[in-house]
A and B are shown apart, each in its own frame.
Chain A
């Protein structure tokens, strides 16, 4: 609880400072932010729509980082996941599978993400390639891979603009109402996050992941194989991020463009860090940042505050929190007389 309050205070402080730095009037800006995020049903649904993929990628990142595997590749895994889903989608176009088809595509999206993260994990295990660098590179490669398919094999026939075929509503994730963009994916995201929370804190394999991340030597002294645990965590992590891609594809447009990437994979990192890598804390963290994303359009009248503004707040919050934790850790007396 205390962590949560602290985090909220930090975010508010950072927003305040950012407003000051960029010349946004504080009161008005603040009001617009709140309105834009939670003001009415439309705003709320917009926030939730934005929060959905970020929640999933943050969860995916949490899985890996908890086990000590620094997966920075959430974006690439998300994109490849969407790609896999869209590829299956092309084949499902003329079938009558409806919701089942949707579920299949989601599953395939998770598979794609897992393959993409698994690739980095294998390179690490077999060739010692640093996970941070490989996953970052794979982000860019994944993006270009998606671009290739959207502009090539998956391109909708008979048009010049690089877009995939439009999925019919039947194959997509159901929306809650015709007025908003809010779709069923939010449920899936919340469910997955809760499931990961359960896995992390209430299962043996989640426990082993936590101890490998906390102290690999402790794991070793108890005959727990760190490398296997990390590998599995990477696969699971990629699967969840891939799922995020599938959900974006099936929830929003049902169509891929080469500019599909909205950096949700990357943005999951600060959301995860602010939530202190605790799946249950990711829920409010994602909602908060999702709201911020949605709300910043309201601020655009103030000197072009746009989509990038949220990054400032995110980064500021993360750094501020980390600094605070570092400073306060120093003050904690460790009562060890070993």
Chain B
């Protein structure tokens, strides 16, 4: 009964995913049509990656099924999905940095095709791409690396190609070229699925848009049926207008922390922060939102004193900020890799802030302190001697916050303060942060949680591609 066109559909039916008690994706049904670029959009945590991982075969859905060409696809098997013609371009490339482009492509073709990479080279020239075949991956631009990754996938002539947040790492010009490429692939009859969050890109690239919000399928519309405002509204609900500065009562002169034209390089040597300036008064909570990966970590690390900037300065109460004299409390983004020593116990994990702040070493004092903080922050642990790795993620987060806040830092830099915390714990943490501000701290909170951004902070900025924007829409579009 199905027509030819319908048979080459990729159909998702009733697919949902639970991780323990967390419902990452509520049941959704979507059709992906051939010869179309179909964008799947939503904020961080909306469920886009979960859906894509399921489609790619890396994760099995809790319920539901999907169908390609009328045939039921087995789930949870990436190799089989690839055999069936579904390819995925990951956000994190699976390329060997020290190998040349050619070597990487040869490697990827080894198990697959005996013809080697001549076909790939032909394809590349068909696309109009000028690829430096003998250059090492680590030496070529990210945009070129992405093209290599794409070439790996199109070599098998797949029917479905999924692009997972491809524009996050590209320059504006490269984004434009990529969008042209997506449209070209679609015109070849393929099903092109684009996972994205930037409105402008979605609008110029796609024929159809599916919007997810907090795991829920909000709707699937044709490009002709949406515009920027409608999309944003579907993605985030109502935009809360910026909250006016709340002045907390604090003692002392209204001094400030001023960031002046900061330029910062990331670990790969590329500019992650491009000339940021802002200032914040004592007792204020500044919020920096925006999508992950736009320079937030580099900025946070520089403000915390563990990364040096390329250019620009940070002024604190009239002088250049001296980290040896001023304790900056820092809650890093990756709590297990940077925030804790997971093989050590809670006493050791909590003692660090005080010690770095100049306190003397006192085992009994540290144990008492750990016990006190565990109680105060309701950390679920049997004893302070529990190892950090035995705690759940949310409780680990509490440990880090507790030890930092306990030092009454003059400056507080926090990344994603309530990630993994339940409502009650999150409210408690917010309360503590506001307390710290009231007591006169300068607080800078980086968060991808919009609700948190607007309820916790006095000022909101949005970070995109290393720059700050006051207007959220502007940031999303950049």
Contact = CB atoms under 8 A, between A and B. Distances in A.
B303 to A, nearest CB: 12
A199 to B, nearest CB: 10
Contacts of B332: 221
A336 B348 contact: no
Interface string B380-403: 000000000111111010000000
A338 B352 contact: no
B355 A207 contact: yes
B330 interface: yes
B351 A336 contact: no
A222 B340 contact: no
Interface stretch (A20-28, A211-219, A264-272): A211-219
A204 B393 contact: no
B420 interface: yes
B393 A337 contact: yes
A221 B353 CA distance: 10
A337 B390 contact: no
A210 interface: yes
Contacts of A337: 19-20, 22, 392-394, 420
B413 to A, nearest CB: 11
A328 to B, nearest CB: 14
Interface string A195-235: 00000011110011011001101101111100000000000
Nearest to A221: B338
B356 A218 contact: no
A218 B361 contact: no
A336 B392 contact: yes
Nearest to B21: A337
Contacts of A217: 337-338
B310 to A, nearest CB: 19
Nearest to A205: B361
B396 A214 contact: no
A204 B361 contact: yes
Contact of B356 (A210, A224, A335): A224
B381 to A, nearest CB: 10
B141 to A, nearest CB: 28
Nearest to B334: A217
A221 B300 CA distance: 11
Nearest to B355: A204
Given A207-B351, A207-B361, A223-B306, A335 B341 contact: no
B305 interface: yes
Nearest to A218: B341
Contact of B393 (A210, A215, A220, A336): A336
A5 interface: no
A223 B338 CA distance: 11
A215 B342 CA distance: 8
Contacts of B389: 334, 336
B390 A334 contact: yes
A222 B355 CA distance: 10
B245 to A, nearest CB: 31
B71 interface: no
Contacts of B391: 335-336
Contact of A214 (B323, B343, B351): B343
B335 interface: yes
B392 A222 contact: no
A161 B343 CA distance: 53
Contacts of B353: 222
Contact of A223 (B305, B342, B344, B396): B305
Nearest to A338: B393
A218 B393 contact: no
B143 interface: no
Contact of B363 (A201, A222, A334): A201
A214 B393 contact: no
A203 B183 CA distance: 63
A221 B394 CA distance: 19
A335 B304 CA distance: 30
B14 interface: no
B76 interface: no
A235 to B, nearest CB: 20
Contact of A211 (B305, B330, B337, B348): B348
B392 to A, nearest CB: 5
Contact of B339 (A201, A210, A218, A335): A218
Interface in A216-261: 217-218, 220-224
A220 B306 CA distance: 7
A290 to B, nearest CB: 30
B420 A338 contact: yes
B360 interface: yes
A202 B342 contact: no
B341 A215 contact: yes
B401 to A, nearest CB: 14
Given A202-B361, A221-B339, A223-B306, A207 B348 contact: yes
B478 interface: no
B20 A218 contact: no
A207 B349 CA distance: 11
Contacts of B306: 220-221, 223
Nearest to A224: B356
B113 interface: no
Contact of A210 (B20, B344, B396, B420): B344
Contacts of A203: 361
B204 interface: no
A185 to B, nearest CB: 30
B340 to A, nearest CB: 6
A276 to B, nearest CB: 12
B423 to A, nearest CB: 16
B131 to A, nearest CB: 33
Nearest to A334: B389
Contacts of A338: 335-336, 392-393, 396, 420
A94 to B, nearest CB: 46
A210 to B, nearest CB: 7
A221 B302 CA distance: 11
B9 to A, nearest CB: 36
19 contacts: A204-B355, A207-B351, A207-B361, A215-B337, A215-B340, A218-B338, A218-B341, A221-B330, A221-B332, A222-B353, A222-B356, A336-B336, A336-B389, A336-B391, A336-B392, A336-B393, A337-B20, A337-B392, A337-B420
Given A211-B352, A215-B342, A338-B396, 12 more contacts: A202-B363, A204-B360, A211-B344, A211-B348, A218-B338, A218-B340, A221-B332, A334-B390, A335-B390, A337-B20, A337-B394, A338-B420
Interface of B: 19-20, 22, 304-306, 323, 330, 332, 335-344, 348, 351-353, 355-356, 360-361, 363, 389-394, 396, 420
Interface of A: 201-204, 207-208, 210-211, 214-215, 217-218, 220-224, 334-338
